[in-house]
């Protein structure tokens, strides 16, 4: 039982850290118009990727959920919760990676140390989410 509570506590702690690091990444401003334009193209491409990828994932989740309803109803809710959590984590990770990308490139011009710290924060969000 302690393992279950410990796992939940660590998951919540990781999400608190993700929120903190995300706010650190988002706070950095980019003043270079060219970099902002390129970042917007990257965001568009990432959104197109997410739409395409998630449509296939949702179809798979639907099929597996139906199969679980037939063979073992008790596993449906944990499966759907786990799949939803995984999708949310991937979405958060991708969005923050894209946001950190342009900010890191901009900071690298000014201060490589600040750029490294921001890149590390962005990567940590991806890893912890």
**Domain range holding 49?**
2-128
Report CA-CA distances (Å) from 28 to 59, 98, 102, 111, 115: 37, 13, 10, 13, 10
Residues 70-100: tens digit of each pLDDT: 998 899 999 999 999 889 888 888 889 998 9
Q: HSE on the CB side for 69, CA within 13 Å?
A: 7
Instruction: Look at the block and give the residue holding tokens 């998630």.
Output: 54
Please say whether the beta carbons of 83 and 102 come within 8 A.
no
At residue 128 the predicted structure's pLDDT band, cuts being 50, 70 and 90, is: confident
Residues 29-67: tens digit of each pLDDT: 888 899 999 999 999 999 999 989 999 999 999 999 999
What pLDDT was estimated at residue 2? Answer: 84
DSSP state letters, 12-68: HHHHHHHHHHHHHHHH-----HHHHHHHHHHHHHHHHHHHHHHHHHHHHHHHHHHHH
Q: How many domains does the chain divide into? A: 1
Query: What is the chain's mean pLDDT, rounded?
Result: 90
Burial of 38 (0-12, 13-18, 19+ CB in 10 A): middle
């Amino acid at each position: 039982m302690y393992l279950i509570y410990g796992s939940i506590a660590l998951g919540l702690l990781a999400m608190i850290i993700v929120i903190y690091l995300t706010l650190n990444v988002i706070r950095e401003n980019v003043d270079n118009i060219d970099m902002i334009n390129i970042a917007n193209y990257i965001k568009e491409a990432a959104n197109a990727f997410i739409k395409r990828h998630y449509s296939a994932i949702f179809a798979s989740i639907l099929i597996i959920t139906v199969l679980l309803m037939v063979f073992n109803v008790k596993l449906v809710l944990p499966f759907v919760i786990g799949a939803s959590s995984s999708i949310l984590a991937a979405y958060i990770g991708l969005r923050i990676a894209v946001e950190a990308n342009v900010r890191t490139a901009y900071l690298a011009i000014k201060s490589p140390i600040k750029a490294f710290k921001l890149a590390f924060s962005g990567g940590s969000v991806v890893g912890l989410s």
